Amino acid sequence: MHSIPAFTTEALRPTVAGADALLSIRGLAVRFATRSGMVTAVDGVDLDVYPGECLGLVGESGSGKSVTFLAVMGLIRPPGRVCEGNIRFRGRDLLALGDAERRALRGRDIAMTLQDALTALNPAFTVASQIVEVLLAHDRADSRAQARSQAIELMRLVGIPAAGQRLDDYPHQFSGGMRQRIMVAIALACRPQLLIADEPTTALDVTIQAQVLELIASLRAKLGMSVVLITHNLGVVAEYCDRVAVMYAGQIVETGPTADVIEAPRHPYTQGLLQSIPRLDRHGERIRPIQGALPDLSRLGEICRFEPRCSLRTAACRTRIPMFYVGPQRLARCIRVHDVDT
């Protein structure tokens, strides 16, 4: 077996000289008390998001992607709780903030769009009232009239036709793609430094998916904000993200520059994800789905999370596996990172 270099946090620093992380997550653990026991939804997650970049967070449903960033937003509610770790935004410890301080930060500096715009938007209130509420809550407008004017500009910014006439419509009067754009408009109301887009293309057809993703990419460039794109689609990550973090059963199992990870995955799970999607450059090659399912998060034990599904597993995998340095800005949670056939 090859010798694997030790991991150092410095190995993840982007090549931009002096760049400091906008958001830094270290050792994050989130657990939920259930009738079947304590479920560890997020287990020792380390992540950085740098100014101006787009980070893709990818993995199967139930892998802990959304819970990680709900913890960042301070939206974990009982029976869930953040048990370990720290989250720093511009050097500020978010877990040490009081409720009022967290509310002031949420929406103003960090914003999040949720998976289903139809359920995330309040059906009892007009689009105008929901955008205006954010602007007034964070003192971004001096009056309701000014806030309405800004709301129209935001709707135009995200490509809503006839924004002035549609401002007082209700969410159900918009199509799925338009509702998703309204969610983005609400998230951008205060010009946040970090936008967390959680499955922004859920339940949209392929054409509308592309429009929403192009919208987020263009707004990122125009506003200079950082973006975390949470998705299960590696194709989306390959096209829009600078770096990618692959998550499985509550842990980050691989991270690095997107092009490098796609070209030469170093964790068997990442490789399995790539082999399970069709590719135009490999005509005639059969799709190979990953066998098995995610483990029971209430009965994990000290074992590699992917071991039951892994074709490379050995007896040595039945222990807690750390992250290993496998190249410039690259880490993988596997003792056989050099044996993965890429």
For residue 115, what pLDDT is reported?
79
Is 70 exceeded by the pLDDT of residue 283?
A: no
- Mean pLDDT throughout 283-312? 84
What sign has the CA pseudo-torsion 271, 300, 335, 21? positive
Residue 118 has pLDDT above 80, yes or no: no
For the beta carbon of residue 174, count every other beta carbon within 10 angstroms.
Answer: 19
| 285 in the same domain as 144 | no
Same domain for 248 and 322: yes
| Domain-embedded: residue 158 | yes
Stated pTM of the model: 0.88
Domain with 147 in it: 123-189
Q: Is the pLDDT reported for residue 6 higher than 60?
A: no
DSSP SS3 for 87:
strand
Q: What is the DSSP string of 93-139?
A: EGGG--HHHHHHHBTTTEEEE-S-HHHHS-TTS-HHHHHHHHHHHTT
- Residue 15 confidence (pLDDT) above 50: no
Q: Which of 287, 285, 306, 286 is nearest to 295 (CA)?
A: 306
Collapse the DSSP code of 4 into the 3-class scheme (helix H, G, I; strand E, B; otherwise coil) and give the result. Answer: coil
pLDDT tens digits for range 288-302: 778 888 888 888 878
Beta bridge partners of 29: 43, 84
Tell which phi-psi region holds residue 222, choosing left (phi > 0), alpha (psi between -120 and 50) or beta: alpha
Q: Is residue 222 part of a domain?
A: yes
Tell me which amino acid residue 255 is. Answer: T
Distance CA 57, CA 121 (A): 24
* Sheet with 251-257: strands ordered across: 110-113, 194-198, 226-231, 54-58, 243-248, 251-257, 330-332, 324-327
Q: Please tell me the total count of domains within the chain.
A: 2
pLDDT of residue 19: 53
Say yes or no: 222 and 319 in one domain: yes
The CA distance from 129 to 127, in Å, is 6
Q: Which residues have a Cβ under 8 Å from the Cβ of 77 and sit 6 or more positions away?
A: none
Q: Residue 8: pLDDT band by 50, 70, 90 thresholds?
A: very low
In the chain, what is the straight-line distance between the N-terminal and C-terminal CA atoms, in Å? 17
Q: Where are the alpha helices (DSSP H) in the chain?
A: 65-73, 99-105, 117-120, 127-137, 144-157, 163-166, 176-188, 206-223, 234-240, 258-263, 268-275
Is the bond preceding residue 289 a cis peptide, omega within 30 degrees? Answer: no
Burial state string for 133-161 with b = 16 or more CB within 10 A and e = fewer than 16: bbbeebebbeeeeebbbbbbebbebbbbe
Mean pLDDT of 9-25: 60
Determine the pLDDT at residue 163: 94
Determine the average pLDDT of the residues in 95-121. Answer: 88
Domain CATH code at residue 209? 3.40.50.300
d(CA 231, CA 249): 15
Same domain, 259 and 177: no
Decide if pLDDT at 3 tops 60.
no
Count how many residues are written for the chain.
Answer: 342
The residue with tokens 């392929």 is 206
What single letter denotes the amino acid at residue 247?
Answer: M
- Please identify, among 189, 212, 228, the residue that sits at the C-terminal boundary of a domain: 189
pLDDT digits (tens, 9 = 90+) for 317-339: 988 899 999 988 999 999 988 77
Residues 179, 299 within the same domain: no
Domain check: are 158 and 208 in the same one? no
Cβ-contact 273, 58 below 8 angstroms: yes
Does any domain span residue 105? yes
Name the pLDDT band for 17 (thresholds 50, 70, 90): very low
Q: Is the pLDDT of residue 171 over 90?
A: yes
Q: Please provide the average confidence, as pLDDT, over all residues in the chain.
A: 88
